[in-house]
Structure 1
Amino acid sequence: MKILHASAEYFPYIKMGGLADMLASLTKEQAKTEEVYVALPYIGGLGKSPQWTGREYPALLPNDAKTDSLVVSILKNSKFLEAEESGVKLYFFQSDLFQSLNSVYGHAEEHFRFAMFSYACYALSQILKVDVFHAHDWHTAIALTLQKDSANPIPSVFTIHNLAYQGDHPFWMTGFLKEEPFRLITSPFDHDGKCNYMKAGILSADKITTVSPGYREETLSEPNGFGLSYCLQQRSGDYRGILNGIDSEEWNPNKDKRIYKTYSAKDWKEGKLKNKTELFKEIGRPSLPLDVPLVGLIGRLTHQKGFPTFLQAFSERRHLPHRYVVLGSGEPEMEKTFYYLSETFPDVFYFYKGYNENLAHKIEAASDFFLMPSLFEPCGLNQMYSHNYGTIPIVSRVGGLKDTVEESNIPSYKTGIVFEPNDAGSLGYALERAKDLFGSQERDIVVKNIMDLDWSWKKRKLEYDLVYTKAIELKI
């Protein structure tokens, strides 16, 4: 089977969130048995230099180049450059629209850039004659509409990674979609008076998936449907929740070259102690105590991730002995708050602004607990990374977190600590339970449980195979 994924992110080249990790690890597994291609933007700020093959492909189909419109001109001067990574062929969309960007999001004219990228991905799928076209999130959703309207439609799958981001723009900004090479009727994408790219993908794809069964159920009603639950209800028979997997080679404490000392389930106590000791030295806090819980937090500092709830709980539970290491960036006010805590309480808090892949691995290896206070979480990956590293996750009861973490009264079934979302009291009580668990014999049982879990892609890859097969059957 020949599969083309279209995405704005792909680790290690472009990473802003879980999409990059998810797609890189999924395609690595798929490439063991299938021909796998990935199309992504070629931005100036790539995280790694691609291994180019020297092959190039056009970004415009010949039959769509009949005029000299601005869009046609841009696509004529753009192309795909082929590279390879872990058995996967990568196609970087080289265009003036993306070449000067150091990051893929947060720029003016995003609606136009990603529409051009979407068309180019559609064109590439036709040129490569793939069996399945798999688009990810709103950035590539327009390609699904083009597939649906094509004379040679390719079976398509649309994966929703976060329904909160929909790529909706005023219609006056998207008039180019009615012109060549798109020639689309945009009225079906009308949502609250705007042209909504996410809605276009939902209505156009042959099959739809999202990244956990729990999140699928949440998006079928409001408020977690973010205004599009009615569309997903219409397509509910074609809509499936498939839990993300992780790259168990990349996130493996027994092999991880990024951490200070590798360890396994047999020597996790010694491994964590060494990693905690060395982490404290690296972050300039060598005098921090080793015999109290270290709680790691990594992620975007946004309201969605529940950091205001955590800050309130921290304020209310100042008596707890926990130390915190925070890695992330996001809303300026949130960054300022964490910076203030780091400077004012250096014996309790450490904050690193930005993202650092090596530090993320070190935090997972050194931490005793990992906190994810999300208000909603489509899947989440860090709780799975934490399981691999013997780091007990503390998570809110939402989306993929509730699918992967269970706080059972029976120690041999417990895989973490769970609290209610957007509830500082519930989170604070969870931190209290973490303190009790840290010093108990039960912790040994829980760590053994979580380090034995298998969150690899082997099983989940088969679930995607089934979705692809059903999408293909619709075209026969």
Structure 2
Amino acid sequence: MNNFLFVSAENDAIPDCKAGGMGDVVRDVPRQISEHGDKVHVVVPSYGRLHQDGIFKTSLYFNLRGMGYAAELYEVKPKKEFPNIIHYVIHHPEIEAGDIAHIYHNDPEEPFYTDAVKYFIFCTAVAEAVKRGAFGDLDVIHLHDWHSSLLLFLREYHEEYTVLKDIRFVYSIHNLAIQGIRPFGDNYSSVENWFPNVRFDYDALKDYRYTDCINLMAVGIRFADSVHTVSPSYKQDVLKPSSPPEFIGGEGLELDLQKANEEGRLIGILNGCNYKNINQEEKGFIYRNTVKALFGWLQMEDKKYKADFLAHTGEKIMEYVGNRPKFIASSVARLTEQKFYFFMRSPEAFVEILKKLEKVDGIFMLLGTGAPEYEELFRQLSYEHKNFIFTNGQSENLIDSIYLESDLYFMPSLFEPCGISQMLSMRNGNPCLVHHTGGLKDTVSHMKTGFTFDGDTYDEKIKNMLAAFDTALDVFSNDKEKWKKIQANAKRKRFTWKKSVDKYYELLYNLE
């Protein structure tokens, strides 16, 4: 039996420990490994709260900042039990909950200041737990994004943790743009402050742009035995330099990624999608679920600043309760540059889409929260356009209803390492309209399972996005047979975790 350790900032297998798609992956991959008959330990920070109902396992003592530190390892109960999977959290008073999903801190003045401190402590505690045999004899340690890459720094340079050299390390990139860049010194949140007695190679760790800083995303890419992108097409994208907004590629790390690729360490494997244990709403509840969510938010103190808007959305949705529109286009996503840059830069293109929908008695439903300027843009557009329903909040039941009842799922991401929304939508037989990039390229085929757009320049992309929307509406209205075929093809597509994890074993883990 092989023995794995997953180290991550998020894990959706336990309650209240998810901010994005990484949490889904860290939930689903261990379940598939368990089906292989192998054992998995999954460890995340406690963020001052997740340990509270856990079972205390051991205290961990280690040195940081030239002094003794003590953290605690707890075993915690998952949402669902699976054989051979054990979930843990590490508690230390300085590993606090942030303002993003009670996980990450937002430090606009000095990016990653607080998070780096949290993950320095967390990773050192994990290294100590591995050294102490808390997870047994490990064959593979699988790290996720920059938050866990410090383990590779410890493996390379820290004389206390040479035991890590005997274990295979795999590093998955979920968000290449967020790199965990911190100064080498002269700062509380710096490597020299936290590891004053560790001698390391500055050149091997430095960021190319800020040469007095460590780049923790780069550390993962440079030192892991295998580096994993979450789709094959995204692997090709990151080997090229970014040229925003037309193209988002290696984000300044393309030389490291090219080197990893030349060494045979860079592997692109598409994420899977969950086709079991699906929490599904019944059809016909999309408007009721919207109203229910809105009433819930109206009673919350932290939503008071947008109470007027929530009431406005409720009033709009009531029109459709007994009068279903003929066509629903939808999007569910965090409101960020990655997901909606095209609409922020060209609101008139989005208005054009709403006008096209009006002609076929259609509406556009968008659900999400995120960057204040994106929320503000969509709230303004909602006031101005009757057929745009913007639900400015998060509700699992409503998200399920949207995936279930939409006619067309719209995903105009600027870049997309893999994307899960299009898979969830296709699972319900909904054609998707997507930007032909990254994982969207690997999952949606134009006129077969959905619709795609691309272009060499920004203006071309916008023009082609509107043309693809016209094509989708034209097929829906005038070629029912073709539409049904696209729906059936989308529903038949299966991006299973079994397929993905079989490739993990062969190409990442080097296990047969």
Range into which the TM-score falls when normalised by the shorter chain = 0.7 to 0.9
Contact persistence 2:75–2:87 (CA under 8 A): yes
Aligned to 1:404: 443
Instruction: Identify the match of residue 160 of structure 1 among 156, 167, 173.
Output: 173
Give the letter for the 2:44 counterpart: L
Of stretches 311-320 and 394-403 in structure 1, the one that deviates more from structure 2 is: 311-320
2:26 alignment counterpart: 23
Q: Provide the identity percentage.
A: 29
Superposed displacement of residue 319, structure 1: 2.5
Size of the aligned set, in residue pairs, is 437
Distance 1:177 1:201 in 2: 19
Q: In 2, Cα distance between the equivalents of 1:363 and 1:373?
A: 17
Out of 169, 188, 193, which is 1:176 matched to?
Answer: 193
Question: What is the CA distance between 1:303 and its match in structure 2?
Answer: 1.4
| Corresponding residue SS for 2:356 | coil
| C-alpha contact 1:178 1:186 (8 A) present in aligned 2 | no
Match of 2:496 in 1: 456
Return closer, same or farther for 1:318/1:362 CA change in 2, 3 Å cut-off: closer
Encode CA deviations 1:277-296: one digit per residue, 9 max, x unaligned. 64566563132352422112
Which residue of structure 2 lines up, in the alignment, with residue 415 of structure 1? 449
Q: Please show how residues 222-261 of structure 1 align to structure 2 within 5 Å.
A: 222-223=241-242, 224-236=249-261, 237-250=264-277, 252=278, 256-257=279-280, 259=281, 261=282
What is the RMSD computed on CA atoms of the aligned residues?
A: 2.4
| Residue 189 (structure 1) aligns with | 205
Following superposition, the deviation at residue 137 of structure 1 comes to 0.4
CA contact (8 A) 1:18 1:381 kept: yes
Question: Which whole-Å CA distance do the structure 1 matches of 2:451 and 2:97 have between them?
Answer: 44
Task: Return 5-14 or 378-387, whichever deviates more.
Answer: 5-14
Match of 1:38 among 42, 46, 53: 42
Residue 430 (structure 2) aligns with: 391
Letter in structure 2 aligned against 1:179: P
Distance 1:79 1:44 in 2: 11
Secondary structure of residue in 1 paired with 2:95: helix
Residues in 1 aligned to 2:265 and 2:348: alpha-carbon distance in whole angstroms: 41
> Who is 1:131 aligned against?
139
TM-score w.r.t. length of structure 1: 0.85
Structure 1 residues 188 and 459, CA gap change in structure 2 (3 angstroms): same
Q: Report the more deviating stretch, 82-91 or 451-460.
A: 82-91
Matches within 5 A, 1:51-62: 52=54, 54-60=55-61
Where does residue 443 of structure 1 map in the other structure?
A: 483
Distance 1:468 1:314, change over 3 A: closer
Letter in 1 for 2:378: F
CA displacement at 1:30 relative to structure 2: 1.5
TM-score by length of 2: 0.80
Supply the distance in 1 between the matched residues of 2:97 and 2:338 (Cα, whole angstroms): 30
Instruction: Find the counterpart in structure 1 of residue 299 from structure 2.
Output: none
Instruction: Give yes or no for the alignment of 1:221 onto 2:221.
Output: no
Give the letter aligned to residue 339 of structure 2.
K
Aligned to 1:424: 462
Alignment partners' CA distance in 2, 1:10 and 1:362? 24
Q: Which residues of structure 1 form unaligned runs of 5+? A: 262-270, 409-413
Aligned to 1:151: 162
1:50 positional shift: 8.1
- Asked whether the equivalents of residues 147 and 156 of structure 1 are also in contact (C-alpha less than 8 Å), the reply is no
Distance (Å, rounded) in 2 between the aligned partners of 1:330 and 1:220: 29
* CA–CA separation in structure 2 for the residues paired with 1:6 and 1:44: 18
The answer to whether structure 1 residue 339 and structure 2 residue 379 are counterparts is yes
User: Which amino acid is 2:327 matched to?
Assistant: P
For residues 456 and 72 of structure 1, the distance between their equivalents in structure 2, rounded to whole angstroms, comes to 47
- After the TM superposition, which of the residue ranges 157-166 and 124-133 deviates more from structure 2? 124-133
Change beyond 3 A, Cα 1:431–1:297: same
CA contact (8 A) 1:369 1:394 kept: yes
Question: Aligned runs of 1:35-114 on 2, under 5 Å?
Answer: 35-44=39-48, 52=54, 54-60=55-61, 64-65=62-63, 70=65, 72-73=67-68, 75-76=69-70, 78-85=71-78, 86-87=81-82, 88-101=85-98, 103-107=102-106, 108-114=113-119
Q: 1:326: Cα distance to partner?
A: 1.4
Q: In 2, Cα distance between the equivalents of 1:205 and 1:51? A: 34
- Secondary structure of 2:25's counterpart equals helix
CA distance in 2 between partners of 1:71 and 1:41 (Å): 22
* Larger RCO, structure (CA 8 Å, separation 6 or more): 1
- Structure 2 counterpart of 1:367: 406
Residue 318 to residue 298, structure 1, CA distance change in 2 (3 Å) = closer
Cα distance between partner residues in 2 of 1:125 and 1:354: 40
- Structure 1 counterpart of 2:204, which letter? P
What is the rounded CA distance, in whole Å, between the counterparts of 1:314 and 1:364 in structure 2? 21
The CA distance in 2 between the partners of 1:291 and 1:355, in whole Å, is 23
Shift of 1:342: 2.3
